[in-house]
Amino acid sequence: MPWDHNSHYHGHLLRQVPSGRSRALDAGCGDGRFARVLAQRGLTVDAVDASAEMVELARRRTPARLPVRYQHARLEEAELAPEGYGFVSAIASVHHMPFGPTLERLARALEPGGTLAVLGLYREEGWEDLAASLVALGPQWGIGLGLRAARLATGTPDLVRMAGHADMPMREPGMSLREIGVAAARHLPGARLRRLLMWRYSLVYTRPE
């Protein structure tokens, strides 16, 4: 599986999935990569994206045996399961939407005891952010070197370049980590915000039973 900054944290996101849950929502699913990961672990997945091109690509890349239902829609217009979801994910997508209302919409989509896990991007603001970025350069360089060495040793093609993300809608994050923390506390009390390496953060919220 090709590596990128988001897939690096798939394991972190999967550890947030509560046990015994059967349905998941992936909001801003892109090419469906994480939706497929969830489905491979036994979850029935609704995957929503505002880009028709991304949804079409996701459908092409998803084997028919996997229980993933793709929907081309903006999140606020999407048809979500009325019974709710045990797990909701949003990977590098929340900064494309109104932050507070999006968090509230995703939290409302949870069934009691369900968990929302956001992997997001933030705008660098001060020395602390700069220091975190500098720290991230070492692991990123090491991962890249290791992957390149493995490809050369095995003759494996560079799947990241071959697959590409040229069609993936891109947008620079507008909120700093400090602003994200303030907004999350207002719109999603009890959510846990954590700075991650490689210019990412995680925001995890569990709906009360």
Could you give the percent of the chain with pLDDT greater than 90?
Answer: 70
Q: Which one, of 125, 57, 85, 95, lies nearest residue 205 by Cα?
A: 85
pLDDT in tens, 5-44: 688 999 999 999 999 999 999 999 999 999 999 999 999 9
Instruction: Report the pLDDT averaged over residues 102-117.
Output: 98
Select from 91, 96, 95, 89 the least CA-distant residue to 110. Answer: 89
Q: Tokens for 180?
A: 């994200």
- Indicate whether 136 pLDDT > 70: no
Q: State the Cα–Cα distance between residues 15 and 135, nearest whole angstrom.
A: 24
Give 70-104 pLDDT, tens digit per residue: 999 999 999 999 999 999 999 999 999 999 999 99
The Cα–Cα gap between 32 and 59 comes to: 8
Strands of the chain, DSSP E: 23-27, 44-49, 68-72, 85-91, 110-121, 192-196, 200-206
Half-sphere exposure of 111 (CA within 13 A, CB side): 16
pLDDT reported for residue 101: 96
Q: For residue 48, give both structure tokens.
A: 């929503």
Please tell me the predicted confidence (pLDDT) of residue 19. 95
- What is the CATH number assigned to the segment(s) 7-123+169-206? 3.40.50.150
User: What average pLDDT does this structure show over 120-145?
Assistant: 61
**% of the chain residues with pLDDT over 70:** 76
For residue 60, CA distances in Å to 31, 51, 118, 173 come to: 9, 14, 25, 29
Domain ranges of the chain: 7-123+169-206
Evaluate if residue 167 carries a pLDDT over 70.
no
Alpha carbons 19 and 184: distance in angstroms, whole number:
25
Contact 120, 180 (CB under 8 A): yes
Q: What is the mean pLDDT of the chain?
A: 85
Confidence at residue 66, expressed as pLDDT on a 0 to 100 scale: 98
Q: What is the mean pLDDT of residues 135-141?
A: 51
Task: Find all residues with CB under 8 Å of 35, minimum gap 6, and list them.
Answer: 24, 26, 29, 45, 47, 58, 62, 68, 70
Residue 2 has pLDDT above 50, yes or no: yes
> pLDDT band at 154, cuts 50/70/90?
low
In this structure, what token pair is assigned to residue 2? 């090709």
